[in-house]
Structure 1
Amino acid sequence: MNFEKIIDSYKDDIIKSTQELIRIKSVEGEPKPGMPFGEGPNEALEYALRLAESMGFETLNVDGYAGHADLGEGEEVVGVLVHLDVVPEGDGWTYPPYVAEIHDGKIYGRGAIDDKGPTIASLYAMKAIKESGVKLNKKIRIIFGTNEESGWGGINYYLKKVKAPNLAFTPDADFPVIHGEMGILIFNIEKKFERKCNCAVKINYIKGGNRPNMVPDYCEALLEVADEKKEFVKEKLDKFVEKTGYKLSLDDRGKHVIIKSYGISAHGSTPQAGKNAISQLIAFLGEVVECDCDASEFVKLYNRKIGMEYNGQSIGCGFEDSVSGKLVFNVGVIDMNEEEVKVSVNIRYPIKYKREDIYNGMEEELKGTGVRIVHIEHLPPIYIPSEDTLVQKLMSVYREFTGDYDSKPITIGGGTYARAMKNAVAFGPLFPGQEELAHQKDEYIAVDDLIKITKLYAKALYELAR
Structure 2
Amino acid sequence: MDKELEASVDAYVDEVWEDVVADIAQLVGVASVADSSLGTAGAPFGPGVRGALDCALGIAQRLGFETSDDDGYVGIADIPGASARQIATIAHVDVVPAGPGWNTDPFTLERREGWLLGRGVIDDKGPAVLSLYAGAYLRRLDAPAPYTFRALLGCDEEVGMTDVHHYLDDHEDPAFLFTPDAEFPVGNAEKGCFGATFVSAPIEDGRIVSWSGAEATNAIPAESVCVVAIDASELPAPVAHADRLEIASVEPGRARIVAHGIGGHASLPEGTLNAIGLIVGYLIEADVLEGEERRFAELLATIHADTAGEAMGIATASEAFGPLTVNGGTIEVAGGRIRQTIDVRFPDSTTADELAARCEALAGRFGAACELGRAKPPFSCSADHPAVQALLDVYGEVTGREARPFSMGGGTYARNFACAVSFGPEDNDLELPAWGGSMHGPNECANEAQLKEALKIYILALVRLMELEL
User: Does the alignment reach a TM-score above 0.5?
Assistant: yes
Q: How many residues are treated as equivalent by the alignment? A: 453
- Per-residue CA deviation, residues 161-189 of structure 1 (Å, 9 max, x unaligned), is 22121111000001110011100112111
Give the drift of 1:232: 4.3
Task: Provide the residue aligned with 1:336 in structure 2.
Answer: 333
User: Are 1:46 and 2:54 an aligned pair?
Assistant: yes
Which residue number corresponds to residue 79 of structure 1? 88
In structure 1, which of residues 17, 21, 24 is the aligned counterpart of residue 23 of structure 2?
17
Distance 1:153 1:186 in 2: 16
Q: 1:453: Cα distance to partner?
A: 1.1
Q: Distance in 2 between matches of 1:180 and 1:396?
A: 18
Shift of 1:338: 7.0
**Residue 26 of structure 1 is aligned with which of 19, 22, 32?**
32
Cα distance in 2 for residues equivalent to 1:68 and 1:281: 45
Q: Distance in 2 between matches of 1:76 and 1:164?
A: 9
Which secondary structure state, in structure 1, belongs to the residue aligned with residue 43 of structure 2? coil
* DSSP 3-state at the match of 1:273: coil
**Shift in Å at residue 23 of structure 1?**
0.8
Q: After the TM superposition, which parts of structure 1 deviate over 4 Å for at least 4 consecutive aligned residues?
A: none
Partner in structure 2 of residue 401 of structure 1? 398
Q: Once the 2 structures are TM-superposed, how far is the Cα of residue 260 of structure 1 from its aligned partner?
A: 1.6
Aligned CA-pair RMSD? 1.9
The corresponding residue for 2:255 is 257
1:119 deviates by 0.9
1:146 aligns with 2:155: yes
| Shift in Å, 1:239 | 2.9
Residue 210 of structure 1 pairs with residue 215 of structure 2: yes
Kept after mapping to 1: 8 A contact 2:392/2:403:
no
Alignment of 1:243-322 (within 5 A): 245-290=243-288, 292-303=290-301, 305-322=302-319
Matched, 1:88 2:110: no
Deviation at 1:106? 1.2
5+ long unaligned stretches in structure 1: none
- Alignment match, 1:55: 63
- The TM-score with structure 2 as length reference comes to 0.92
C-alpha contact (below 8 Å) 2:352/2:376 kept by paired residues: no
Q: CA deviation at 1:97?
A: 0.9
Q: Distance in 2 between matches of 1:28 and 1:135?
A: 36
Alignment partner, residue 221 of structure 1: 226
Distance between the aligned counterparts of 1:353 and 1:308, measured in 2? 21
Q: Percent identity over the alignment?
A: 28
Alpha carbons 1:319, 1:326 under 8 Å: kept? yes
Superposed CA offset, 1:217-276 (max 9, x none) = 2222222226xxx5441xx3343444xx43333335211111122222211111233221
1:165 matched residue in structure 2: 174
In the alignment, the residues of structure 2 paired with residue 118 and residue 146 of structure 1 have an alpha-carbon distance, to the nearest angstrom, of 14
Cα distance between partner residues in 2 of 1:221 and 1:93: 20
Q: State which drifts further: 309-318 or 356-365.
A: 356-365
**Cα distance in 1 for residues equivalent to 2:237 and 2:304:** 18
What is the rounded CA distance, in whole Å, between the counterparts of 1:150 and 1:135 in structure 2? 37
Q: 2:360 is paired with a residue of what secondary structure?
A: helix
Note if contact 1:315-1:366 (Cα within 8 Å) is conserved in structure 2: no
Q: Which residue matches 1:439?
A: 440
Cα distance change on mapping 1:274 and 1:251 into 2, 3 Å: farther
Greater displacement, 70-79 / 286-295: 286-295
Q: Aligned partners of 1:261 and 1:364: how far apart in 2?
A: 30
> Residue 239 of structure 2 aligns with which residue?
239
Structure 2 counterpart SS, 1:10: helix
1: CA distance, partners of 2:439 / 2:365: 38
Matched, 1:136 2:145: yes
Instruction: Give the AA of the match of 1:19.
Output: A
User: Cα gap change, 1:331/1:346 in structure 2, threshold over 3 Å: closer, same or farther?
Assistant: same
Distance 2:428 2:269 in 1: 19
- For 2:29, the aligned partner's letter is R
TM-score normalised over the length of structure 1: 0.93
Query: Aligned partners of 1:151 and 1:403: how far apart in 2?
Result: 37
Moved more, 325-334 or 440-449: 440-449
Q: Distance in 2 between matches of 1:337 and 1:72?
A: 52
Residue in 1 aligned with 2:72?
64
Distance 1:351 1:462 in 2: 34
Residue 307 to residue 430, structure 1, CA distance change in 2 (3 Å)? closer
Give, in angstroms, the shift of residue 130 of structure 1: 0.9
Deviates more, 1:100-109 or 1:288-297: 288-297
Q: Aligned with 1:18: secondary structure?
A: helix
